[in-house]
Amino acid sequence: MQLGRQLETQELEHKSLLENNLAAIEDMHSKLQTNIKSIHFLNQKINELGQENGCLQQQLEDRKLRCQQYERHLETCNQTLSNLFTHLKFIQEQRDCLQKKTLNAVSCSHNIVPPLTTGSHLQHQIFSQIGTVNGESEELVLKNSLDKSCRTQCTEAHSTPLQDNTEYWMEKMNGLMLQIQQFVEKPRK
């Protein structure tokens, strides 16, 4: 009997030990399943973050490329504007020089009387009459008025093409400035 009791006790201990081990295994199994689920969730999040990072990296590259394009375009626009300003300055200097030459030529030619449109015999006839108007000879008064007329005609003849050219380049520069302004203000995507 004592042997039977010992066997019974050992069986109970063995059964209890098995139950404890089984409970520990089930607990470990449930913890492992929870860890596997967590690992899958984290892996999914890592994949999503990797895709988002790839998209952000592509956007960054696109923006860098666009920025480089803007810089090149801006350099081109600046060079074009610089060339236009230089050309405009050259045209203005030409116009000023031409006006000075015209004024110098007219002032130097105060002894030279330009031919009248009605004929040089009429000019000779007018200058051959000598009289006084307010203490000056008629010849001097007529020469002064002809000098002024000649000066006005020369200045108008030379300044009109330059003025047209200047207006043309001013319109060009205004157009370029408008394009640059629109380009800079263009909404970025």
Which of 62-76, 88-102, 120-134, 148-162 is the least confident region? 120-134
Distances from the Cα of 176 to the Cαs of 20, 37, 92, 99, 170, in angstroms?
87, 62, 20, 29, 10
Judged by average pLDDT, the poorest of 106-110, 126-130, 136-140 is: 126-130
Number of domains in the chain: 1
Q: What is the DSSP letter of 130?
A: -
Instruction: Provide the residue type at 106 as one letter.
Output: V
Model-wide pTM > 0.75: no
- Split at pLDDT 50, 70, 90, the class of 139 is very low
Structure tokens that stand for 156 in this block: 């108008």
Read off the pLDDT of residues 30-55 as tens digits, 9 standing for 90 and up: 999 999 999 999 999 999 999 999 99
159-to-20, 55, 95, 147, 149 alpha-carbon distances in Å: 112, 61, 7, 18, 15
Determine the pLDDT at residue 115.
43
pLDDT at 170 exceeding the cut of 60:
yes
Q: Summarize the confidence of residues 156-162 as an average pLDDT.
A: 62
Q: Which segments of 109-137 does DSSP mark as H helices, in order?
A: 120-128
Could you identify the residue written with the tokens 């990296």? 57
Asked if the model's pLDDT at residue 131 lies above 70, the reply is no
Q: pLDDT of 51-102, one tens digit each?
A: 999 999 999 999 999 999 999 988 888 888 888 888 888 888 888 887 777 7
Which pLDDT value is given to residue 66?
92
Dihedral of CA atoms 117, 119, 121, 126 in degrees, nearest 10, equals -20
d(CA 95, CA 159): 7
User: What is the crossing angle of helices 120-128 and 138-185, to 10°?
Assistant: 130
Q: Could you give the percent of the chain with pLDDT greater than 90?
A: 31
Residue 135 belongs to domain spanning: 2-185
From 43-47, 84-88, 134-138, 170-174, the region with the lowest mean pLDDT: 134-138
Q: What does R_g of the chain's alpha carbons equal in angstroms?
A: 51
- For 128-140, what is the mean pLDDT? 45
Of 41-45, 123-127, 145-149, 169-173, give the lowest mean pLDDT range.
123-127
